[in-house]
Amino acid sequence: MYIYFPIAEISLNIFIVIGLGGFIGFLSGLFGVGGGFLMTPLLIFLGIPAPVAVATEANQIVASSVSGVIAHWRRKNVDFKMGAVLLFGGIVGSSLGVLLFALLEKIGQLDLVIKLSYVFFLSAIGILMLWESVRTYIRTRSSEFYRRKLHKHNWLHGLPFKMRFRRSKLYISALVPFLIAAFVGVLSAIMGVGGGFIMVPAMIYLLGMPTSVVIGTSLFQIIFVTANVTLLQSVQTQTVDFLLAGTLLFGAVIGAQIGTRFGGMLRGEQLRGMLALIVLLVSIKIGYDLIVMPSDLFSTEILK
Amino acid sequence: MIQWLWYTSLRHMKRYIGIQYPIGLTGALILYILCVPAIGYTQSNALVADLSLSNISINTDFNGTSVLLFGSVSGEAGDDIIVVISGPNSEIVTREKSKMTGIWVNSNSVKWKNAPSYYQIFTTRPLSQIATKSVLEELSVGAEFLDLRYDSEQALSPSSYLTWSKALHRNMQSASLWKINETSVQVMRGTLFRTQVSLPANITIGDYDVRIIHFRDGRFIAEDKTAIAVKKAGISAFIYKLAHEYSIFYGLFAVAFAVFAGWLAAAIFPKP
């Protein structure tokens, strides 16, 4: 059964779209990630125009982050004060990102920038995760214990505008989370991702937040950033396909439930190692397409 | 029974001729007698064509469609029919990739101002056997005879114009939007012809001009015109219109829907 998506202007088999949503939902439930960084490239592989894929995925992430944050909220794992600073930075960054998006589309280089960002960030994150999971695997084998400090102090702690974040047990400059969130916001708008895969490590390693509040707080701010992107893209580029987002969401909700149940059966470093391999595979595929000589050097696109 | 037949035929006549109802039976009969030979006469020398569907609605279940084009021609055995369908002129951009620091990037581009988004030809025999190139050019039958205007940073030299327009042809052909369907028109007893026109799922919204041309021994005999209107309809049209005309409202609605859906998912499946 085919369904015509009015904004993407493409007709796709509805079961493929729901299946894709389900598959990414399954992975996101399994690994505890948003999945935007896998969904957007796969939508592009399906033939959906890159601008529509990016903007529509932002819309879908709003929904998955809302359902994710509710569980963390119940367990009081959200630092709302930190979240407020992050979302302020995220709104500024994502608004700039949407402007940049429109500019790149105008000069015909949007596809290239989207793909290059994916290759760069996916391969960097993939390699780091793979390295980390292999190291953990070896360490647990040799059963070596060591105690970590709450967090290390470095030059980031010497910046002005210091604020106290009680839930995160931190007293740091508000500039650091603001700037990180702004940077991730730009990527969020251009890549069609929530940005959790960059935000979470940044919160742990750069800000030194306790792991327990990191995911809840990151999800909390992602809701606002992706909502901002959805709204701005709707107004500026009209590339949000609400019907596509809804169909993907339907599959993703079910997939996430199955994924969460499977996730309990596997060990953390095994999960991260598998996710790292998937991430690397996607980045290699996108990178390969950029390097290999196209069969026709000319391409034609019908503008509206 | 007979009265009923008269009544229904009158209703049809009223619709076709546009006369006021009620009208005397004799009046209708006289009109009918007058009209029939007149219609018969005009048809005797002409080419008449019609479509099984002239309004195409793109709703959410659209996956391309096929339209039957049929008609009659007062022809002889061996006559040819060419059907040219030209879709709405869109702004079409052709880009050239070149290698920069190891990766292929779009470098030059040409924006076509008046290229048709769909251009298909349906014929009884291979085009070259129907008429000579100059005859076809005069009738502008063929994508190579389109008078393409472009918008580029610099004026193109004749040779580079050729390269770009060839690239456009190639790309549009591989997307199955420009195509020559040779021997796809069937003519029966020299008078009735038909062809199946397929419109892919990615067609552009707008009016499609349909030209039907009758050839005999390489010469033009007659031409008829009709049109296909392609529109978005139903939910698909509603979403498209909302997104383009009330985009703030659309964006707010998309966000509100996502928040609601996310909340619903969390409520239905509580985390263990």
pLDDT mean across residues, chain B: 83
Q: Taking all residues of chain A, what is their mean pLDDT, rounded to a whole number?
A: 86
Predicted confidence (pLDDT) per residue in A205-222, tens digit: 888 888 788 888 988 999
Residue A96 confidence (pLDDT) above 80: yes
Q: What is the DSSP letter of A267?
A: -
Q: Which of B106, B112, B239 to mutate to test binding with chain A, by most A CBs within 10 Å of its CB?
A: B106
How far apart are alpha carbons B207 and A215 in whole angstroms? 52
Residue length, chain A? 304
Is A253–B244 a contact, with Cβ atoms under 8 angstroms apart? no
The domain B45-235 having CATH identifier 3.10.450.50: the answer here is no
Pull the structure tokens for residue A254: 């079910």
Confidence of residue B8 (pLDDT cuts 50, 70, 90): very low
From chain B, the residues in CB contact with A253 under 8 A are 261, 265, 269
Select the more confidently predicted residue: A234 or B27: A234
- Does the CB of B269 have a partner CB in chain A at under 8 Å? yes
Which of residues 61 through 120 in chain B touch A, CB cutoff 8 A? 61-64, 90-99, 102-106, 109, 111, 117
Cα A49 to the center of its chain, rounded Å: 19
Please state the domain extents for chain A. 2-291
Question: A245-257, pLDDT tens digit by residue?
Answer: 999 999 998 888 8
Q: Which of B245, B265, B261, B256 is nearest to A231 (CA)?
A: B256
Nearest chain A Cα distance for residue B136, angstroms:
26
Residue B217 has pLDDT above 80, yes or no: yes
Residue B119 has pLDDT above 60, yes or no: yes
| pTM for this entry | 0.79
DSSP secondary structure of A203-247: IIIII---HHHHHHHHHHHHHHHHHHHHHHHHHHT----HHHHHH
Q: What is the pLDDT of residues B184-213, one digit of tens each?
A: 999 988 889 999 999 988 888 999 999 999
A246, closest residue in chain B (CA to CA): B258
The pLDDT of residue A19 is 95
Confidence bin at B133 (pLDDT 50/70/90): very high
Which of the residue ranges A148-152, B1-5, B151-155, B179-183 would you say has the lowest mean pLDDT?
Answer: B1-5
Predicted pLDDT of residue B16: 44
Given this model, what pLDDT does residue B137 score? 93
Say if the Cβ atoms of A11 and B171 lie within 8 Å.
no
What residue spans define the domains of chain B? 45-235
Q: Which residues pair with A163 in a beta bridge?
A: A172
Contact between B255 and A298 using a beta-carbon 8 Å cutoff: no
C-alpha Rg value of chain B to the nearest Å: 26
Q: What pLDDT is recorded for position A225? A: 94
Element of type H or E holding B173: helix B158-174
Q: What percent of chain B has pLDDT over 70?
A: 82
CB B109 within 8 A of CB A111: no
Contact B61 A2 (CB under 8 A): yes
pLDDT tens across A268-280, in order?
A: 777 778 888 988 9
Cβ of A4 within 8 Å of Cβ of B95? The answer is: no
Instruction: Tell me the pLDDT band of A201, cut-offs 50, 70 and 90.
Output: confident
**Average pLDDT over every residue of A193-204:** 85
CA atoms of A293 and A291, how far apart (whole Å)? 6
pLDDT (0 to 100) of residue A216: 86
Reply yes or no on whether the pLDDT at A53 is more than 80: yes
List pLDDT tens digits, range A21-44: 999 988 888 877 778 888 998 998
Hey, which of A66-75, A133-142, B77-86 has the most confident mean pLDDT?
B77-86
Tens of pLDDT along B90-100? Answer: 889 999 999 98
Dist CA A28 CA A30 (whole Å): 5
List the single residue in B with minimal CA-CA distance to A223. B259
Closest alpha carbon within chain B to A67:
B262
Q: Contact A230/B254, CB-based, under 8 Å?
A: yes
- Nearest CA distance, A302 vs chain B (angstrom): 4
